[in-house]
Amino acid sequence: MVVEDVFAVTKKNCRRWNENLSPLEVGEQWFYQATRDRGLDLHLRAGYERKELRERFGLKKTQQKSKPVFAAHAVDAWVMAADVPGAERPAEQGLYYWTPIRFFRRQLHRLQPAKGGIRKPYGGTRSPGFTRGTLVRHVKHELTYIGGTLKGKMSLPNAVTGGWVTQTAKVEDCMILTRIARRTEWYAAMGRRHSSQAFRPGSPA
């Protein structure tokens, strides 16, 4: 286990800073001890060592931290981990992004009425007898998952982006696959994005 040991000092007359720092330090020490208790070798690296390691491996870090690429954040984790067994270069530079599927608590109806003064039902975890978040393959829209329901029709968000694909899907047009708790996206090294639930060429079925 390789961990970047974040070092911060307490400051005089900075009570708020010190109070926030204290639980972080306690949690850090607990994690270190829990790692050792599991029989794992713990290797600590200081923050300044990351740059030295990147230079040694010939890897660069992008300043665009929000980009889903290996060079944004994963490169630091890789160089710290690779330093221990003596790896030479990354075998894979693709990334998985995991996003929890958001469910809304059930309400009797929406707080604000729609056109005509009708208050539509809202929230919950079931749609026409199925658990919301169930991965399905729609005859037209391919890989989606079950979202909400209205008048017997289902809303199907995109399995990759989470955006609505349709809100009028019929149950009979969907092949039920499996229950998922999060959307998982695979960003290949060249930046191409697709769902990890969709089998990629060369991946196990």
Q: What is the pLDDT along the chain (205 residues), one digit of tens a residue?
A: 999 887 767 677 777 766 666 777 788 889 999 999 999 999 999 888 989 999 999 999 998 888 888 898 799 999 999 999 989 999 888 888 888 887 776 666 566 667 777 666 666 667 777 888 888 999 999 889 888 777 778 889 888 888 888 988 888 898 989 888 888 888 887 655 555 454 343 443 3
pLDDT at position 59, please? Answer: 93
Sequential DSSP letters for 55-89: HHHT----S-TTS-STTTTHHHHHHHHHTTTT--S
Per domain, the residue ranges of the chain are 2-90, 99-182
Q: Which DSSP helix (H) or strand (E) runs through 36?
A: helix 15-37
Phi/psi of residue 47, each to 5°?
Answer: -60, -40
pTM of the model: 0.61
Residue 132 corresponds to which tokens in the numbers above? 């919301």
pLDDT at position 126, please? Answer: 72
Whole-angstrom distance, CA of residue 134 vs CA of residue 143: 11
Residue 8 corresponds to which tokens in the numbers above? 């911060």
pLDDT at position 199, please? Answer: 39
Whole-angstrom distance, CA of residue 131 vs CA of residue 147: 9
CA distances from residue 6 to 40, 53, 133 in whole angstroms, order as listed: 20, 17, 37
